[in-house]
Structure 1
Amino acid sequence: MNQKVLNTLEYDKVIERLKAYATTELGKAACEKLEPMTDEPEISLAQEQTQDALTRLYKQGSISFFGVHDLGASLKRLKMKGTLSAGELLEIAGLLEAVKNALAYGAQRDDMADADSLDSVFESLVPMDGLLKDIRHCIISPEEISDDASSALKDIRRNMKLTNQKIHSQLTAMVSSSSNKDMLQDALVTMRNGRYCIPVKQEYRGQFKGMIHDQSSSGSTLFIEPMAVVTLNNQLKELEGQEQTEIERILSLLSEQASYDMDGLAQNQKLLVLLDFIFAKAKYAKDYNGSKPIFREDGVINIKQGRHPLLDPKKVVPINVSLGDAFSMLVITGPNTGGKTVSLKTVGLFTLMGQAGLHIPAFQGSSLGIYEEVFADIGDEQSIEQNLSTFSSHMTNIVSIIQNAHRHSLVLLDELCGGTDPVEGAALAISILTDLHDRGVKTMATTHYSELKMFALSTDGVENASCEFDVETLSPTYRLMIGIPGKSNAFAISRKLGLDNHIIVHASDQIDESVKDFETILADLEKSKQTIEQEQEEIFEYRKEIENLRKSLKERQENIKEKREKLLREAREEAYRIISEAKETADETIKEYNNLKKQSGKDANRKMEHMRSDLRGKMSRLEKDMAYRSKNRASKKHEPGDFQVGDEVYVTSLSLSGTVQTLPNSKGDLYVQMGMMRSKVNVKDLEITKSVKQVKRENARNEARNSGRTAINKSSSIRPEINVLGMTVDEAVSQLDKFIDDACLANLGQITVIHGKGTGALRKGIHNYLKTLKKQKRISGYRDGEFGEGDMGVTVIML
């Protein structure tokens, strides 16, 4: 990619921002060297690495590269069998600690997740825990070696400490002595040239034995090393030399150990710098909310809500740009400061960033092409040095672009052929665009020339675009509108700024009618597009609201389903518990009862009676547990005394009608027969629909009215069998109920129900119903058909 276009599109500013996110100097240098690539696999890998690093940042947080330094010089010295300083060895330790941290960070990824492009980088790091441990054990800081680095060093430093103590002890005694008090300038011990001395007055020089090492600036004080400590000072110097020799030996051993892992150190440095570089790209993308672009082989650009990365994110207006699908050339028109150049630069910079492996600040799903070259003629190209005008400078650049551009190039032209005669400039611009278009070069161009609007309208593969301008506020909106050429707003802006209307009218008269009509059409198109976009936004909001409601309804249904399943599960568990308890109670009672039967006497009878009482109590508790309780209450309140056996009632908690079977107990609970179901219900959940007296009165009236006639009619016409084949249980029971009434009136002794064998469900339902009738004394009994009567396919009922 040519350096000129990188500077024109301000790619270097993007790199400067990227460098700020790198931790190490080597990482910053790698960012500085980043340039757009043209090889598709390389670009894809770089984008994938940025995406995977961004995913890790969101899931795991940042990774630390603290301690990574440039080991180039140290590694060269190791290669030459040289000895490293304590500071250089500490830099190696810092690198190895960064390796340790990076390996821990790489291992945090979910083991069940798919492998990403960074796994191989993390796995290639070489841990050197032994070397790291030895360096940290021996070296405290660049200026300090640990006493525990070696036993010899420890002994030397212990002897140095003892010698120091002896020297201080003797010198302290000298300066504290009253006999020496007058000869000393100060009662203190000092050091000169690495030797311990005491300050002696000049006049007592001959009376104080020792070696003179220094004197004060005035010459009145001499710093003398007393003869008594000379030997000790010599020993101390010797020990210091031994200490330095031992330190050099320790550093030599550590350097030798590091040289064995020289290749591993170089590899670790390279990999950590690579990771720092990749995570810098990810951090940058995270800050501007970037996304991974899709690269299309056909070079189609489709940017969704793209934001120029160098503009203030709070003020930048996102744009939608497409190029290379339905059209390969886009001509953008509109007023100055309307955002045309920004749109041009955004497309160009996105292309460079994408091909450099950087995410682009646009919506997910935006696509870019891979271009071998990007050419741009943007900005003021005037050259004072070459004595060229603005037009000449631009034309020199355009000539170079035309000569070098090809099908795999992207060309960006700002204010094409501006700065010259409008008629000639427009003709030249059309000719240049036609040449590029004929050669299949994807091009974006901005212009003021109206002729280029007509060129785009009349040429296949060329599309108009414009930057929206708000005449009311006299300011651009920076929104790019593809498909509509820019309208000239000169008259409207002049009127808004206060120019006399007669001047504007006179200017309007100078314009050809066809041009006026064209401008009117443009205005109508722009207004229509704004209306459509507004309606589309409303539709989008409606769809969003509908989708939210759908999700909410689905969640509510799922919650209801979960609660229902939970209630059913709890009910089954409770029923199972009650049945199990009842079974256990029955089994224990029968067992005990059988044992007591074998005994005789009053004790056995008393125990049996006691067992019956306990059993009744347990059964009463179980009945309470099994009793259905509901939050629904009858609208009409009844007292327990209002109910009689035979009353017809409505059970509000079950929404069923039934007949009272027992009188209420002390708590208001009674049994109600509802079809085939008999259940305990509280009087609060009951409404009396017909009292037993009303039922009896109605029955008596009906019997008196119809008894004679009905009996005669029924006895003459009724057959002693009913066929319910093919009916549901409810249908069969309804038919059978009426048939039994008719048979009773006809004084039949028994009847036969033909239901067939089938699955047995119909037979079972009829038998359950007949059990209820038998309890109600409506029939005396029933049985399956015998051989010759229909076997299990019929049921015989005794009335």
Structure 2
Amino acid sequence: MNNKALNVLEFDKIKDEIAKYLITSRGQALLKKLMPMSVESIVHRLIDQTKDGMDIVRLKGEIPVRKLEDLHDQANRLKKDGNLNGTELAAIGQVLKNTAELKAFFEQLHDDEVALRELFNLSNDLIDNPVLTRRIDKSIDESGRVLDTASEDLQYIRNQINKLNETIRQSMEQYTRGKNTKYLTEAIVTLRDDRFVVPVKTEYRAKFGGVVHDQSASGQTLYIEPQAVVGLNNQLHDAQTSERLEETRILAELSDLVRPEIDDIVKNNEVLAQFDLINAKAKYANQIKGTEPLISRDNIVDLKEAKHPLIDPDRVVANDIKIGDDYRTMLITGPNTGGKTISMKTLGLLQIMAQAGLFIPAHEESQIGVFDEVFVDIGDEQSIEQNLSTFSSHMDNIINIMKNVSERSLVLIDELGAGTDPQEGAAIAIAILEKLSESNCEIVATTHYPELKIYAYNAEKTINASMEFDDKSLKPTYRLLIGIPGASNALNIAARLGMDNEVITRGRSLMSGESQDLNNMINDLEKRRKEFEANNIELEQQLEKNKKVEESFETERTALENSKDSEIQAAKVRANQIVSSTKKKSEKIIDRLKELERSGNAVKADQIISARTDLKNLHQEDVSKKNRVLRRAKRRQELKVGDDVKAIPYGQFGTIVRKDKNNKYEVQLGILKMKFDAADLEKTQSKPEEKESKPTMVRRTKSTSLSSKLDLRGERYEEAMTDLDNYIDEALLAGYNQVTIVHGFGTGVIRNGVTKYLQGNPRVKSFGYAPASSGGSGATIVDL
């Protein structure tokens, strides 16, 4: 893509912003080469890489790339059989370490089932070398210093050096302490020619003997190595020489180890630089609140709420910009400083950003095309003078565009035809647009000429657009209005600023009838647009109210359906209980008759009548409504808080302590509290003295009907918590020591609720996630 377009659209400033997030030398080099791509598959891959980078930044903070140096100099020296110094080997060690770290990082992401589009493939290009990595890490620190652990010989030599240094310092103390200090200019030990010396006053040279290594500038001080330490200094010097030779040998050995691997290491460095750049692009996208651009195969550009990324986000105005579908040419009109050029630059800059694989500051689902070229002819829209040289410069540029334009080009022209006589300028502008349109390229141009507004209205695949202007405040709003040409505001502005009415009237009379008709048409269109927007807002508000009413109706209908189902179910339960009770009583009557018959006694008539009466009484009639006595009896059987009851499913006795909103009764069974339906409770009579003297006991027995596993998957939160509470109570009654709660993974709401409930239940001894083979974190094992 041509550099002129990139410079005018300020793509380099975007790259300067991205550079703030780079940490590797090669990453900086890759950023300098970053350009918009014109091949759709490459653009897709670059955008996918940035999307992966955004996901990793969101989940992990960033891709863990180290600060790495360029390795090309090291590679060239090794290929020429040269050896590397410690600093250069340390740089290679950093690349090897970072390679191993990133391999492990992406393996963990893969194990965590993080979905990535491109970066798993890119990480596969990294070549790990654990043996060489460990050897360099053992031998060289990050500053390039050879470590003691590089070899046993080096460690031994350095131990000897340390011992000699200590011995020499102890020997030198006799000269820096006590009576000998009067012979020194300063009571210190220093170094000259890598040997330990003391600063002796010149007149006392004979007191020390030894070797003079240096003299002060004034000649008053001699730096003398005392005779007593000459031998030790010689030993130290020899040891230091051995140290340097051993370090040189180690560096040569490491260089030989690196030499055959250097090409792979340099390739790793390039891949790491790509990760660094992807990291930076993702962080910049966060900075500008960028979104992923979708690629249109038909080259339709549809930017929703697009913002220029280099303008203060608190001041920039978002605009919808669309071109390439129903129309391929857009002519933008409006007042100076109204935002025409910025709107056009926003389109061009966001397009080349997306083609370079960057996210763009626009609403989600925004589309971009893939253009071979973006041609730009944009001057200074604030310029006051438009002279011949300016016109000539624009014409040279446009001629070049016309020679190279194709159907996959985007052309942006500011102030088309400006800089010459208005009539001639309008004529040549129309001719240029017609010629460019023959290539079927996409064109956005700004203009002040009313003739071009009429051209756009009549020409095929061409549309007018304008920058909105507030007549009341006399200020532009910077909103782009597609489909509406801009009206001339000069006379209106002059009138509102207080210009003499005669001048305004005369000005209007001098305007051609065609211009007045055009302005009237534009004003009418603008009036209709504002009415449409007002009506649209009102309709949207009404639609929102209707949605809320509909949602409320659906909620009430669902509640009613649920209530109906609950009542039917409860009726079935009660009916089954009546049938069961009636069956038991009838069987007792029959058994009594059979017993009489077996005994050999004749069944008397009164006994038969009594049995018939008992059977007849089994018929359930709702006579309570007619009989006061029965109504009172029924009321006595109704359950209420404080009643003593028998829990039929468990055969346990307790007291009702609460009735909840779902008509369930909470019963205190000894130390347990459990919830029951009314059908599962039988009211009992107990004497006060018995209640006081005998506490309610709960017998724990093993149950074969209760499962040791509770499955809450698919339940709503409130339902799941109720079932969990009941289940724990039942498990305790059944005598279970351990149960399993299956809550699944899902959104984590049920799992968190289970954890919170278990933490607050004093009857839970301990709990934790199940082993991986038994569901992992999708199930919790509870010890009771």
TM-score (norm 1): 0.68
User: What is the percent sequence identity of the aligned residues?
Assistant: 38
Aligned residue number for residue 119 of structure 1: 120
Q: 1:648 pairs with 625, 635, 654, which one?
A: 625
Q: Deviations over 1:456-482 (max 9, x none)?
A: 112222111111100111111111111
SS in 2 for 1:494: helix
Q: Which residue of 2 aligns with 1:68?
A: 68
Distance 1:203 1:284, change over 3 A: closer
**What's the offset of the Cα at 1:399?**
1.8
Matches within 5 A, 1:204-603: 204-206=204-206, 208-380=208-380, 389-544=389-544
Structure 1's 326 and 556: CA in aligned 2 closer, same or farther, altered over 3 A? same
Change (3 A) 1:550 1:187: same
- Corresponding residue SS for 2:322: strand
Aligned-partner SS, 2:317: coil
Moved more, 410-419 or 662-671: 662-671
Q: What amino acid is the match of 2:419? A: G
Closer/same/farther in 2, CA of residues 199 and 469 from structure 1, 3 Å limit = closer
**Cα offset for 1:177?**
6.7
CA contact (8 A) 2:450 2:515 kept: no
CA distance in 2, matches of 1:132, 1:242: 27
**1 CA distance for matches of 2:563 and 2:108?**
38
Relative distance call for 1:242 and 1:525 in structure 2 (3 A) is same
| 8 Å Cα contact 1:60-1:108 kept in structure 2 | no
Report the Cα distance in structure 2 between the residues aligned to 1:344 and 1:650, rounded to whole angstroms.
Answer: 90
Q: Hey, what's the Cα distance between the residues in 1 that align with 2:450 and 2:355?
A: 35
Which residue number corresponds to residue 17 of structure 2?
A: 17
- Cα distance, 1:434 vs. partner? 1.8
Structure with the greater alpha carbon radius of gyration: 1
The separation in 1 between residues aligned to 2:459 and 2:399, in whole angstroms, is: 23
1:200 aligns with 2:200: yes
| Residues 666-722 of structure 1: CA deviation (Å, up to 9, x unaligned) | 999999xxxxx999999xxxxxxxxxxxxxxxxxxxxxxxxxxxxxxxxxxxxxxxx
Alignment partner, residue 753 of structure 1: none
Q: Name the CA shift for 1:233/1:553 in 2 (closer, same or farther; >3 Å).
A: farther
Correspondence for 1:742: none
Amino acid across the alignment from 1:224: I
Report the counterpart of residue 55 of structure 2 in structure 1: 55
CA deviations 1:195-228 (Å, max 9, x no partner) are: 2223333334345432221223332332222223
Q: Which secondary structure does the structure 2 equivalent of 1:389 belong to?
A: helix
Distance in 1 separating the partners of 2:681 and 2:7? 90
Q: What code does the residue aligned with 2:512 have? A: D
Equivalent residues of 1:67, 1:91 under 8 A apart: no
1:106–1:557 distance in 2 versus 1, CA, 3 Å: farther
Partner of 2:666: none
Verify: 1:86 aligned to 2:86, yes or no. Answer: yes
Residue 350 of structure 1 aligns with an amino acid whose one-letter code is: L
Q: Secondary structure at the match of 1:486?
A: coil
User: What letter is aligned with 2:237?
Assistant: K
For the residue of structure 1 that corresponds to 2:302, the secondary structure is strand
Structure 1 residue 526: Cα displacement: 0.6
- Letter matched to residue 428 of structure 1: I
CA distance in 2 between counterparts of 1:77 and 1:575 reads 95
Aligned to 2:131: 130
Provide the C-alpha distance between the structure 2 equivalents of 1:315 and 1:59, rounded to a whole number of angstroms: 31
CA distance in 2, matches of 1:382, 1:208: 85
Aligned mates of 1:574, 1:187 — CA distance in 2: 108
Cα distance between partner residues in 2 of 1:494 and 1:57: 54
Check whether the contact 1:407–1:442 (CA below 8 A) recurs between aligned residues: yes
Cα displacement string for residues 17-60 of structure 1 (whole angstroms, at most 9, x for unaligned residues): 22223222321221121111111111111122122222222233
Give me the whole-angstrom Cα distance separating, in 1, the residues matched to 2:68 and 2:322. 44
Residue by residue, what CA displacement relative to the aligned partner does 1:439-465 show, whole Å, maximum 9, x if unpaired? 323211111111111111122221111
CA 1:202/1:552 → structure 2, altered by over 3 Å: closer, same or farther?
farther
Using a 3 Å threshold, how does the CA distance of structure 1 residues 200 and 311 change in structure 2: closer, same or farther?
closer
SS in 1 for 2:23: coil
Taking the aligned partners of 1:650 and 1:430, their CA distance within structure 2 comes to: 101
- How far residue 174 of structure 1 moved from its aligned partner, in angstroms, is 4.9
Q: Equivalent residue for 2:171?
A: 170
Cα distance in 2 for residues equivalent to 1:163 and 1:324: 83
What value does the CA root-mean-square deviation take over the aligned residues?
Answer: 4.0
Shift in CA distance, 316/679, structure 1 to aligned 2, threshold 3 Å: closer
Q: Distance in 2 between matches of 1:558 and 1:535?
A: 34
Partner residue in 2 for 1:160: 161
**Structure 1 residues 670, 274: CA separation in 2 closer, same or farther (over 3 Å shift)?**
closer
State whether residues 487 and 522 of structure 1, in contact with CA within 8 Å, keep that contact through their aligned partners in structure 2.
yes
Q: Report if aligned partners of 1:327, 1:461 keep a CA contact under 8 Å in 2.
A: yes
How far apart are residue 100 of structure 1 and its match?
3.4
Any conservation in 2 of the 1:334–1:468 contact (CA below 8 Å)? yes
Residue 254 of structure 2 aligns with an amino acid whose one-letter code is L
Report the alpha carbon displacement of residue 430 of structure 1 after superposing the two structures with TM: 1.4
Amino acid corresponding to residue 281 of structure 1 in structure 2: K
TM-score normalised to structure 2 length: 0.69
User: What is the distance in 1 between the residues matched to 2:443 and 2:419?
Assistant: 21
In structure 2, relative to structure 1, the CA distance for the partners of 1:527 and 1:168 (3 Å cut) is same
CA contact (8 A) 1:90 1:135 kept: yes
SS, match of residue 648 in structure 1: coil
| Deviating more after overlay: 235-244 vs 193-202 | 193-202
- Equivalent pairs, count: 603
Would the alpha carbon gap of residues 122 and 380 (structure 1) be closer, same or farther in structure 2, given more than 3 Å must change? same
Q: Is the 8 A contact 1:305 1:319 kept in 2?
A: yes
Aligned mates of 2:27, 2:127 — CA distance in 1:
19
In 2 relative to 1, CA 6–207 (structure 1 residues): closer, same or farther, beyond 3 Å? closer
How far did residue 492 of structure 1 move?
Answer: 1.0
Structure 2 unaligned regions, length at least 5: 581-621, 646-677, 684-784
Displacement after TM superposition at 1:119 (Å): 0.7
For residues 162-202 of structure 1, the C-alpha deviation after alignment (integer angstroms, 9 at most, x for no partner) is 32333333333355575x56655455433322222233333
Report if the CA contact (8 A) 1:302-1:322 is conserved. Answer: yes
Quote the Cα distance in structure 2 between the aligned partners of 1:494 and 1:415. 23
Note if contact 1:382-1:393 (Cα within 8 Å) is conserved in structure 2.
no
Q: Could you say which residue in structure 1 is the equivalent of 2:147?
A: 146
Q: Is the Cα–Cα contact under 8 Å of residues 305 and 318 in structure 1 kept in the other structure? A: yes
Partners of 1:329 and 1:438 in 2: how far apart? 11
**CA deviation digits over 1:98-149, x for unaligned, max 9?**
2233234323436445452111112222233333333333334536433333
Report the Cα offset of residue 273 of structure 1: 0.6
Q: Which moved more, 1:331-340 or 1:80-89?
A: 80-89
Q: 1:488-545 CA deviation, whole Å, 9 max, x = no partner? A: 1111101111101121011112223343233122111111112212332343455456
Show the counterpart of 2:738: none
SS of match in other structure, 1:73: helix
Structure 2: distance between partners of 1:173 and 1:219 = 24
CA–CA separation in structure 1 for the residues paired with 2:88 and 2:123: 25
